[in-house]
């Protein structure tokens, strides 16, 4: 008996002895919450089976069910409370995701009715990820106490939901956290390739140069196997010592260890050959892109800067990425040019060529290229940077050049106003809950004076004249003597009016922009030579590319014109002629009649990348359908509507009853132009690689096809 007791004691104390088994508090695998108590609506009738309608994909939970308070969207609220249990292990571990708001979105541990431990989700800005991540509390000091767990959702705005799963009591210590974990590098190679795991906990990663903090990014570092690698360009510090410092890192993380110095991007062999890489739409090599910025023609090149998160698949860490092109179609991405600094992350803005060197940043012979951007810190201000070679950029040492008006001031678009010989800046300013455009003038791009304020006349709920304004003058029907000014907002709705260099006087407001989906924050090129004279716009084409090391892209470039319509002048859009360089094989069809009996004319064509032109006079009740690799583009003659994948857009026939369609099809979506460019329907969607079928059919009568051309296109990436 005695001996036995001693043996038992020894085995309990021996190192590596088995810890007590975990106690499951909840795995949310049932169809209801069992004896947990629910209040409000947010928790739904029972645990969610993964993603809820309208939600980004949710993952990282265990099994099939989880708590997901996105039931009826972000606005719903409620609580979920466990029955009482005894704290019998050292740790309570769980998986958590969703919105970040320690007060309104919480997983709480309560003892005697008081919150003794609390956790919230990771997201507090647009973008983000719905991935649940492990977290835990050390509850050693609460051993033996009675406790309850309560999940609270009192948040109603963006990210107003919380996700929780797999709550267990355990004695297994979750790996500890190291603070300010550091790795130093003597810079010999161009890049540090950084391992990224989408949805992993965001860490604050600071780059130190010679021991001093240079730039700080929030990065979902991969502790284990990465989803992809993000290059950080450190070539500016060749020979010097740089270091990466991570605010918190689990002891067992391999994140810092696996960073790889190299002159090449890791996995460079797969670059531009990725299955969801748009083949004639610009997208970043790595990371996230949103608005096009700083679009300008300088020294024989088109420049495209863009909102870039170099280190994440979602929005964040705003840098200005940079690409150049000779034709707006083939782009070479050069790397990030503006990095976040003490004044904040670098939000949207524009670029101009300072031909007369008014800024003094260059010379008359070598005029500078000047970038004007928003530094989105606190305060949020407008700043400038310059370059004379279009490759290296220097931030102005007296930034900012425009002080904060309100925290919601951003996206400066600058132009030279020839008549008054000054620079004009249009700036979006959210003022007392309203969208306004502020007009500033400057002799030199450095000193700015407020000239006027235009009230968007909105209550802030709609998108008219919200963010990313653009201002330019266009001739009506090409008549240089008859011109109007166009003022456009991020959703591409616009006003037409007059502009005297000081104030914009709208004559027509709330004019409709694009008619599709996923097109935002477009901008037009500055400084296109007068010999060319076109006004060319590119927008953010919101193509989501899951599984790829990059996300989002830019629309095809399109020429904007003002044309007379039965309503008065309106903006029309035409794909730029430079795109014709991508045509490989062309199929011309004879004019002919199409009806239910004629079958499919296009059944011989099998191609991935397409440009289709169809001019036709549809019979009054006809429905003309293009089936393009599984996507549908339908013209409904009775309603005079274009229907792209079920999405309807008005597309009137011309006076003589004609419809003219231009359809571009890339791997990541369609862009459809109808009614002589008055209707533009962008439609991001990932087409199935193995579906190359093409069809054009009609029913409900006869469609007189006067011209039909199909071009197969080649990739801009392979054509280098």
To ligand FRU, the closest distance from the beta carbon of 368 in angstroms equals 23
To ligand FRU, the closest distance from the beta carbon of 146 in angstroms equals 48
Q: Is 711 in contact with 583 (CB distance < 8 Å)?
A: yes
Based on CB atoms, which residue is closest to ligand FRU, 340 or 475? 340
Q: How many residues bind ligand FRU (CB under 6 A)?
A: 14
To ligand FRU, the closest distance from the beta carbon of 157 in angstroms equals 16
Binding mask 125-144 for ligand FRU (x = CB under 6 A): --------------------
Contact between 290 and ligand FRU (CB under 6 A)?
Answer: yes
Contact between 470 and ligand FRU (CB under 6 A)?
Answer: no
Based on CB atoms, which residue is closest to ligand FRU, 207 or 468? 468
Q: Under DSSP, is residue 116 helix (H, G, I), strand (E, B) or coil?
A: strand
Q: Is 684 in contact with 704 (CB distance < 8 Å)?
A: no
User: What is the C-alpha separation between 410 and 407, in angstroms, rounded?
Assistant: 9
Angular region, 3: left φ>0, alpha ψ -120 to 50, beta rest:
alpha
Angle at the Cα of 70 (from 55 to 515), degrees rounded to 5? Answer: 40
Catalytic status, residue 291: yes
8 sits in which H/E element: helix 2-13
DSSP assignments along 238-265, one per residue: TTSEEEEEEEEEETT--TTTT-EEESS-
To ligand FRU, the closest distance from the beta carbon of 430 in angstroms equals 10
CA 618 from centre of chain: 39
To ligand FRU, the closest distance from the beta carbon of 546 in angstroms equals 20
Q: Is 681 in contact with 674 (CB distance < 8 Å)?
A: yes
Contact between 96 and ligand FRU (CB under 6 A)?
Answer: no
> What Rg, from alpha-carbon coordinates, does the chain have?
29
Contact between 492 and ligand FRU (CB under 6 A)?
Answer: no
* Cis peptide bond prior to 570, omega within 30° of 0: no
User: What is the C-alpha separation between 356 and 366, in angstroms, rounded?
Assistant: 10
Hey, which residues between 533 and 572 contact ligand FRU (CB under 6 A)? none
Among 374, 380, 382, 617, contact with ligand FRU (rule: CB under 6 A): 374
- Report residue 372 as tokens: 């004007």
Based on CB atoms, which residue is closest to ligand FRU, 74 or 411? 411
- Report residue 487 as tokens: 């003022």
Hey, which residues between 323 and 352 contact ligand FRU (CB under 6 A)? 347-348
**461: which residues sit within 8 A by CB, 6+ positions away?**
none
Kindly report the backbone phi and psi dihedral angles of residue 174, in degrees, each rounded to the nearest multiple of 5, phi listed first. Answer: -65, 145
Among 197, 308, 319, 410, contact with ligand FRU (rule: CB under 6 A): 410
To ligand FRU, the closest distance from the beta carbon of 467 in angstroms equals 4
| CA–CA distances in Å: residue 53 to residues 40, 67, 71, 543 | 19, 15, 8, 20
DSSP assignments along 482-537, one per residue: EEEEEEE-TTS-EEEEEE-SS-EEEEEEEE----SSSEEEEEE-B---TTT---EE
Based on CB atoms, which residue is closest to ligand FRU, 170 or 374? 374
Contact between 409 and ligand FRU (CB under 6 A)?
Answer: no
Kindly report the backbone phi and psi dihedral angles of residue 403, in degrees, each rounded to the nearest multiple of 5, phi listed first. Answer: -70, 165
Among 242, 521, 710, 713, contact with ligand FRU (rule: CB under 6 A): 521
DSSP 41: S
User: Which residue bears the tokens 């960073």?
Assistant: 259
To ligand FRU, the closest distance from the beta carbon of 539 in angstroms equals 10
Binding mask 303-322 for ligand FRU (x = CB under 6 A): ----x----------x----
The residue from 74, 291, 470, 676 that is catalytic is 291
Based on CB atoms, which residue is closest to ligand FRU, 369 or 521? 521
12 sits in which H/E element: helix 2-13
Based on CB atoms, which residue is closest to ligand FRU, 193 or 374? 374
The string over 577-591, giving b where at least 16 C-beta atoms fall within 10 Å of a residue's C-beta and e elsewhere, is ebbeebeeeebeeee
Contact between 411 and ligand FRU (CB under 6 A)?
Answer: yes
Based on CB atoms, which residue is closest to ligand FRU, 293 or 558? 293
Contact between 430 and ligand FRU (CB under 6 A)?
Answer: no
Based on CB atoms, which residue is closest to ligand FRU, 99 or 321? 321
To ligand FRU, the closest distance from the beta carbon of 458 in angstroms equals 16
Among 468, 495, 623, 710, contact with ligand FRU (rule: CB under 6 A): 468
Q: Is 444 in contact with 360 (CB distance < 8 Å)?
A: yes
To ligand FRU, the closest distance from the beta carbon of 35 in angstroms equals 45
Contact between 490 and ligand FRU (CB under 6 A)?
Answer: yes
Based on CB atoms, which residue is closest to ligand FRU, 134 or 463? 463
Q: Under DSSP, is residue 128 helix (H, G, I), strand (E, B) or coil?
A: coil
Kindly report the backbone phi and psi dihedral angles of residue 608, in degrees, each rounded to the nearest multiple of 5, phi listed first. Answer: -90, -40
Contact between 467 and ligand FRU (CB under 6 A)?
Answer: yes
Among 291, 336, 354, 430, contact with ligand FRU (rule: CB under 6 A): 291
Q: Where do contacts with ligand FRU occur on this chain (CB under 6 A)?
A: 290-291, 307, 318, 347-348, 374, 410-411, 467-468, 490, 520-521
State the catalytic residues. Answer: 291
């Amino acid at each position: 008996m005695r001996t036995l007791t001693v043996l038992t004691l020894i085995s309990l104390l021996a190192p590596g002895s088995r810890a007590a088994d975990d106690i499951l508090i909840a795995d949310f695998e049932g169809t209801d919450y069992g004896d947990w108590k629910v209040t409000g609506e947010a928790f739904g009738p029972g645990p969610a089976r993964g993603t809820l309608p309208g939600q980004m994909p949710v993952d990282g939970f265990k099994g099939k069910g989880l708590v997901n308070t996105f039931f009826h969207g972000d606005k719903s609220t409620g609580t979920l409370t466990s029955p009482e249990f005894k704290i019998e292990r050292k740790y309570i571990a769980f998986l958590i995701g969703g919105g970040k708001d320690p007060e309104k979105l919480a997983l709480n541990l309560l003892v005697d009715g008081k919150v003794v431990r609390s956790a919230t989700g990771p997201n507090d800005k647009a973008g983000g990820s719905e991935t649940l991540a492990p977290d835990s509390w050390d509850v050693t000091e609460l051993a033996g106490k009675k406790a309850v767990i309560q999940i609270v959702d009192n948040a109603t705005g963006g990210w107003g939901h919380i996700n929780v799963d797999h709550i267990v009591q355990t004695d297994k210590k979750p790996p500890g956290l190291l603070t300010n974990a550091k790795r130093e590098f003597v810079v010999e190679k161009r890049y540090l390739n950084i391992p990224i795991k989408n949805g992993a906990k965001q860490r604050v990663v600071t780059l130190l140069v010679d021991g001093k903090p240079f730039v700080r990014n929030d990065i979902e570092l991969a502790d284990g196997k990465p989803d992809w690698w993000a290059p950080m360009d450190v070539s500016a510090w060749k020979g010097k010592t740089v270091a990466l410092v991570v605010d918190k890192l689990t002891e067992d993380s391999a994140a810092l260890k696996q960073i790889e110095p190299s002159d090449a991007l890791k996995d460079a062999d797969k670059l531009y050959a990725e299955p969801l890489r748009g083949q004639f739409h610009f997208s970043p090599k790595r990371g996230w892109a949103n608005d096009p910025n700083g679009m300008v023609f300088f020294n024989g090149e088109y420049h495209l800067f863009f909102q870039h998160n170099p280190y994440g698949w979602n929005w964040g860490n705003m840098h200005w990425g940079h690409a150049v092109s000779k034709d707006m179609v083939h782009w070479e991405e050069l790397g990030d040019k503006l990095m976040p600094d003490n004044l904040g992350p670098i939000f949207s803005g524009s670029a101009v060529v300072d031909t007369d060197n008014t800024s003094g940043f260059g010379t008359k012979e070598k005029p500078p290229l000047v970038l004007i951007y928003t530094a989105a810190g606190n305060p949020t201000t407008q700043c400038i940077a310059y370059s004379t070679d279009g490759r290296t950029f220097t931030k102005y040492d007296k930034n900012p050049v425009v002080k904060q008006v309100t925290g919601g001031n951003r996206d400066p678009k600058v132009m030279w106003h020839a008549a008054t010989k000054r620079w004009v800046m249009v700036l979006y300013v959210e003022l007392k809950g309203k969208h306004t455009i502020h007009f500033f003038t400057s002799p030199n791009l450095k000193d700015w004076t407020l000239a006027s304020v235009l009230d968007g006349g909105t209550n802030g709920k709609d998108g008219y004249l919200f963010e990313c304004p653009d201002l330019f003058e266009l001739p009506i029907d090409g008549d240089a003597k008859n011109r109007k000014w166009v003022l456009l907002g991020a959703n591409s709705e616009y006003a037409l009016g007059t502009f005297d260099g000081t104030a914009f006087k709208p004559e027509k407001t709330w004019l409709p922009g694009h008619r599709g989906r996923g097109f935002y924050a477009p901008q037009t090129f500055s400084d296109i030579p007068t010999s060319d004279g076109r006004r060319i716009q590119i927008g953010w084409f919101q193509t989501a590319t899951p599984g790829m090391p990059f996300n989002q892209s830019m629309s095809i470039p399109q020429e904007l014109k003002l044309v007379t319509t039965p309503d008065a002048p309106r903006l029309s859009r035409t794909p730029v002629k430079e795109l014709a360089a991508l045509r490989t094989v062309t199929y011309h069809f004879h004019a002919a009649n199409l009806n239910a009996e004629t079958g499919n004319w296009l059944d011989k064509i099998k191609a991935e990348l397409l440009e289709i032109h169809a001019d036709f006079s549809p019979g009054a009740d006809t429905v003309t359908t293009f089936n393009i690799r599984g996507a549908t583009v339908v013209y409904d003659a009775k309603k005079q509507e274009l229907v792209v994948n079920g999405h309807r857009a008005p597309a009137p026939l011309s006076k003589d009853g004609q419809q003219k369609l231009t359809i571009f099809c890339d791997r990541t979506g369609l862009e459809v132009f109808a009614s002589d460019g008055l209707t533009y329907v962008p439609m991001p969607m990932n087409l199935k690689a193995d579906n190359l079928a093409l069809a054009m059919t009609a029913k409900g009568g006869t469609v007189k096809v006067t011209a039909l051309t199909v071009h197969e296109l080649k990739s801009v990436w392979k054509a280098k």
